[in-house]
Amino acid sequence: MVHSPLISARGISYVYPDGSMGVQDVSIEIFRGERVGIVGPNGSGKSTLIFLLSGLLKPTKGEVRIFGLTPDKKNFESIRRKIGVVFQNPDDFLFNPTVRDELLYVPRQLEINEEKMRQLLLEYSEMFDLKEILHKPPFRLSGGEKKKVEIASVLIYRPEVIFLDEPTANVDGKTKRMVAEMMRKYEGTVVITSHELEIIKRLCNRVVLMSKGRIVEDTTINTLDERMFEEIGVV
């Protein structure tokens, strides 16, 4: 059982309710401790794949297994506890009345004690430079501030698997470096999409290339053939 994958998808497709093809016949296995970078041009299905692999969307065809389980009502909470997802669009993600509530949304559900909670809040708001905006509602922040709050409120509960969809869009250099640093040190499993190849190269040991809803390449970072990127339009 050592080598059974954490997350596996076999032949999954997702068609959006309006008939648009999200991903098409994708198979992938993700193992503990891997750092997977998903790259591909706009609209190639990266975000859709993340929603599928994290169990938030149900594939319209095929099956996803997470920790060996098919996600359903019964195991929903326990899966969610272990999987964190940073959405591409922070506006889709942030819904609490203040930044503080946003950060503590999951810790409060886990009924962590007050003291520990205060400490977590302090640590993360310092790290992401959010102290001055803790009292503000998230929809009144700047683009990058929103993204920072989003990343912080996922990292704060240290899920085993983290999906990061474009974590560095709209954020400033300092935060980018900080996020990269944190992810490098992270012991869990990490899946990242990004249009900044620098980030992928720095953080990932495996690269998945998508195009038109399909995986067209899945390889280690060392054997990566960059000509393909250019062809598809990633760089």
Partner 1 sequence: MHIPDGYLDLSIAGLFFVLTLAVLGYSIFKLRGAKLTSLFGVLSAAIFAAQMLNWPIPGGTSAHFVGGSLAGILLGPYAGSLAMAIVLTIQTLVFNDGGITAWGANVWNMAIVNVFVGYYIYQTFSKFSRSFSAFLAGWLGITIAAIFAGLEIGLSTSFAYGLSITIPVMGIWHAVLGIIEGIITAGVVSYIATRRADLLEKKEVGKASFVLIAGLIALSPVFAYLAEEVGYSEPLENAAEMLGLEENPIYESIFPDYTIPGLDPYTGTLISGAIGVLIVLLLAYAVKYARSSRKDT
Partner 2 sequence: MHVVLEKTLKNASSYFQNFFIHDYSSNGAIHLIDARIKLLSTIVFVILAISTFEFDKLSFLLFSLILISAILGLSLKRLFSRVWLFSIFSFLVVSPLLIQDLKYPFLFTLRVTVAIIAVQMLVMSTSFAEICSALRSLKVPEIFIHGLWLAYRYILVVFQDIISILLARESRRVAKGSHADLWRKGGESVGLFFLRSIERAERVQLAMASRGERVIQSKFKFGLLEIIYITLSAFVALWCIVL
Ligand X SMILES: Nc1ncnc2c1ncn2[C@@H]1O[C@H](COP(=O)(O)OP(=O)(O)OP(=O)(O)O)[C@@H](O)[C@H]1O
46 binds ligand X (CB under 6 A): yes
Q: Which residues bind partner 1 (CB under 8 A)?
A: 17, 114, 118
User: Edge-to-edge strand order for the sheet containing 7-15?
Assistant: 21-30, 7-15, 61-66
107 binds ligand X (CB under 6 A): no
Among 92, 115, 187, 230, binds partner 2 (CB under 8 A): 92
Using DSSP bridges, classify how beta strands 7-15 and 21-30 pair: parallel, antiparallel or unpaired.
antiparallel
How far apart are alpha carbons 39 and 194 in whole angstroms? Answer: 6
76 binds partner 2 (CB under 8 A): yes
Q: Pick the closer one to partner 2 by CB: 71 or 224.
A: 71
> What minimum distance in Å lies between the beta carbon of 22 and Mg ion?
10
Q: Which residues pair with 37 in a beta bridge?
A: 192, 207
Phi/psi of residue 192, nearest 5 degrees: -125, 140
48 binds ligand X (CB under 6 A): yes
Among 31, 137, 178, 221, binds partner 2 (CB under 8 A): 137
Q: In this chain, which stretch among 87-95, 164-172, 203-211, 222-230 interacts with partner 2, using CB under 8 A?
A: 87-95
Could you say which of its own copies, ligand X, Mg ion, none residue 89 binds, taking C-beta under 5 to 8 angstroms by partner kind? Answer: its own copies
How far apart are alpha carbons 207 and 39 in whole angstroms? Answer: 7
DSSP 81: H
Phi/psi of residue 120, nearest 5 degrees: -55, -45
> What minimum distance in Å lies between the beta carbon of 89 and ligand X?
9
How far apart are alpha carbons 51 and 55 in whole angstroms? Answer: 6
Beta-strand ranges (E) seen in the chain are 7-15, 21-30, 35-39, 61-66, 83-86, 161-165, 189-193, 206-211, 214-220
| Closest by Cα among 6, 44, 3, 1 to 26 | 44
Q: Pick the closer one to partner 2 by CB: 80 or 202.
A: 80
Among 44, 153, 189, 194, binds ligand X (CB under 6 A): 44
Residues at the interface with ligand X (CB under 6 A) = 16, 18, 20, 22, 40, 42-48, 88, 133, 140-145, 170
Residues at the interface with partner 2 (CB under 8 A) = 17-18, 51, 54, 56-57, 73, 76-77, 80-81, 83-85, 87, 89, 91-97, 101, 105-106, 108-111, 135, 137, 139-140, 153-154, 157
